[in-house]
C-alpha cells in the first residue's frame, strides 16, 4: 500500500477557543491514538491534508511531528463542515508492521460485461471494501473483472479473492451487477 508523508505540529491546548484559532490559521486539529500509547494532539496544514482526503485511494500515513517523533498511522475518522466541506478534525489510528490493519481499499473495475453486450445496464454499488491484513500485504486497489457478468447477475464481496488479505465487508454485499432492461428482455425471446 502507498505511503503518504504528513508533517504535524504538537498542540497543547484542546479548548474550543484554541481549536477555532487553529482553523482560522488554516490548520486542522488532529488526534493520534492506538497501540496502547497516550493520545497525541497535533495540527496539520489543511492544504497538505487535502492530498490525503480528496482522493479515493487509501494510504498508510507517515506522520512526522515537530518534536522529532515519527508515527505510522491510518485515517480513522474525518469530521467535515456541513456547508463548506472543509475538514474540521481528523482522528488517526497508530499501526505497526506486525498487527493486522483494517482499512478501506478502493476497487478497480475492468472488463466489459457479457450482459451489457446483450443490452443490460451495468451498475456499481460499492467503490471500496473493508479488508484486514498486515501492512506489507495490503494492496493499493482490488481488481474486479466483470467480463463474466450476464443479465441479472451480480458480483458480491464474497466473490473477492485476495491473497493474504481477509475481506471484512459482509459476503452478501453487492459490489456491482448487470440489470436487464426492456431492450434486453425483448431480445431474449427473439434469440430463442
Q: How far apart are CA 99 and CA 183, in angstroms?
A: 51
Number of H helices, E strands in the chain: 4, 13
Taking residues 180-187, what's their average pLDDT? 73
In percent, how much of the chain has pLDDT > 90?
71
Residue 149 has pLDDT above 50, yes or no: yes
Q: By the 8 A CB rule, do 57 and 2 touch?
A: yes
Bigger pLDDT: 147 vs 190: 147
The C-alpha cell that represents 114 in the structure block: 457479457
Q: What is the pLDDT of residues 25-47, one digit of tens each?
A: 999 999 999 888 899 999 999 99
In percent, how much of the chain has pLDDT > 70?
96
The angle at the Cα of 72, spanning 71 to 77, to the nearest 5 degrees, equals 105
Reference 58, options 132, 149, 156; nearest CA is 132
Residue 68 has pLDDT above 60, yes or no: yes
Helix (H, G, I), strand (E, B) or coil at 9: strand
Mean pLDDT rounded to a whole number for the chain: 90
Q: List beta partners, residue 154.
A: 177
In the chain, the domains with their CATH numbers are 3-94 (2.40.240.10), 101-191 (2.170.120.20)
What's residue 190's pLDDT? 45
CA 99 from centre of chain: 19
Q: By the 8 A CB rule, do 120 and 181 touch?
A: yes
Q: How far apart are CA 130 and CA 35, in angstroms?
A: 20
**Global pTM value:** 0.79
Torsion of CA 178, 144, 3, 52, to 10 degrees: -10
Buried b (16+ CB within 10 A) or exposed e, 4-16: bebebeebeeeee
Amino acid at each position: 500500500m502507498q505511503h503518504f508523508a504528513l508533517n504535524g505540529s504538537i498542540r497543547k491546548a484542546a479548548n474550543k477557543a484554541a481549536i477555532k484559532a487553529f482553523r482560522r490559521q488554516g490548520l486542522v486539529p488532529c488526534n493520534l491514538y492506538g497501540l496502547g500509547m497516550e493520545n497525541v494532539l497535533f495540527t496539520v496544514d489543511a492544504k497538505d491534508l487535502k492530498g490525503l482526503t480528496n482522493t479515493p485511494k487509501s494510504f498508510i500515513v507517515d506522520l512526522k511531528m515537530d518534536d522529532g517523533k515519527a508515527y505510522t498511522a491510518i485515517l480513522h475518522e474525518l469530521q467535515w463542515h456541513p456547508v463548506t466541506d472543509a475538514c474540521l478534525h481528523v482522528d488517526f489510528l497508530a499501526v505497526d508492521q506486525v498487527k493486522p490493519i483494517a482499512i478501506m481499499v478502493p476497487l478497480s473495475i475492468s472488463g466489459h460485461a457479457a450482459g451489457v453486450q446483450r443490452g443490460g445496464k451495468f451498475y456499481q454499488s460499492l467503490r471500496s471494501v473493508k479488508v484486514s491484513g498486515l501492512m506489507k500485504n495490503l494492496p493499493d486497489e482490488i481488481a474486479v473483472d466483470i467480463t463474466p457478468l450476464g443479465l441479472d447477475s451480480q458480483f458480491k464481496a464474497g466473490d473477492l479473492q485476495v491473497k493474504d488479505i481477509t475481506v471484512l465487508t459482509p459476503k452478501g454485499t453487492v459490489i456491482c451487477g448487470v440489470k436487464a432492461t426492456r431492450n434486453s428482455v425483448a431480445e431474449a425471446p427473439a434469440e430463442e
